[in-house]
Structure 1
């Protein structure tokens, strides 16, 4: 079960290796003293030796350009739900902490260049801010359309530039965790198919179709919202991107606008987070809700239906992404 919070370190891509290691260490120390809750419990090995407790969060170390780091810091800092620590050039060049404080006080905010940034907070919020960034040290050049098609099989995993753990979960065991794991893989596939492109998210397939990657994100946010919030949780939660008078608004209004794109990802992340929390807290898979279309439905049926829904639309995403830049893969 993934933790509800996430901890991420982002390092400037062109930083020399030794400086990158130093930046990660500085951020680890600076974030560690700011994390809520008691320190992790110490552990013992089989021989009785004591081992200091380790923070339970996996810590992906990502990479970004100077502009990306500056934008990330601006978007993250000041949010009450996030712990944000920036390691900048002023700090890196200072010999003593007092020197840093004096130099920083004399540096205008717009002139600060960030070497690395650490983020901690709600999983969906941190993911939304960092999902477009590659792992540090991973190749950053996107394959060309010709090399992507000729150099990969369609049955290979989609190129992520890092550690792809989809489709590697257990194939036996508790039904709830199996269904959750398969659905999580399908959700992550949609996110991957949308990674590495920005304005192209709104690019449509072939006229007269209005299908686009951005439309899929908006549509699936409403799908998650319907089944988990409205049907199973019984909340008054109308669709965000479509309505009775505009049933295809999720696709038709998916336009190339930064605010529209940001709103789509925020909605999708929020609905996925709600769904995962609902499933984890449900008494069992026989929990029921009422849907105007299907009548009484169980949590088990909803999970199977969501897997079906994502699998169908990820097929659309395969074609949409290949048309944008030729990149293929599961």
Structure 2
């Protein structure tokens, strides 16, 4: 058993707390990871606000990189000393998605069997719910061994850890879900961390033009840095008309919606070309409904309406490849790291997130 510091959300809407937690030694199929860096993601804020479920208390944090400290007796895929990026898609290998050769849709992903617990106070021993089965706002965390993906140990932990969620979600939404290739036109609606990553992925794939849409000039500037060829300020311009104008009057081949709202999804629907693709990677809330659309438009425009889960990634395939591109200077993951912070600064990072001041704050442990 290990006692370490971790960041816990005890109740809906309450500030997070830095507390001592118990982390068990790894059992069968598990790995103990010493966390080096962990990004502050909107999903962590959703957990704190009760937007995921109400299994409080939560151990927050999931966009992480670190070093394997110990593994369970039957683990062969990783070993102590391996530098890993943590993921929340530890594929089972035997569900209906895995068996049909689509493990990126695995319906039975693994998490650690043992639970981490609170170590002190009147609620000592209370089991923690780790965010996305990871819980990496902690000096050490316990995960399923399949949640550890080995990557180049020379890579910067603060940068490559972001592949664990938001950056992978955006890049994968473009390359994996949207099947963006050279010469395709792409529009991305919403230029937060995931949207900008979708732009970076589209640029990596050779798309052109790449049109960034947002209401925030700072976000549009960052989108331009990451590969957007054109920007549209949708606070003052109709994004559908602007995207059509920039694509010869047709609309984009692929439109990626990275906001998760009915209004922007409807914009994406009408901003694509005939037989084009809409990719929803922004996460809606349970109360949001698909907007009214004439069914003849759904039929008549053809193409695909897709959702992107975690960028439809396969961590064992995608993480090492993207880290290699980063190490070659072809994918600027450092650009996503707005600031490095301490483990006690997460509430302040949530506030900056509300104001759109950062792509990512990254906790350094």
Give your verdict on TM over 0.5.
no
Larger relative helix fraction: 1
Larger relative strand fraction: 2
User: What is the TM-score of this pair, normalised by structure 2?
Assistant: 0.27
User: What is the TM-score of this pair, normalised by structure 1?
Assistant: 0.30
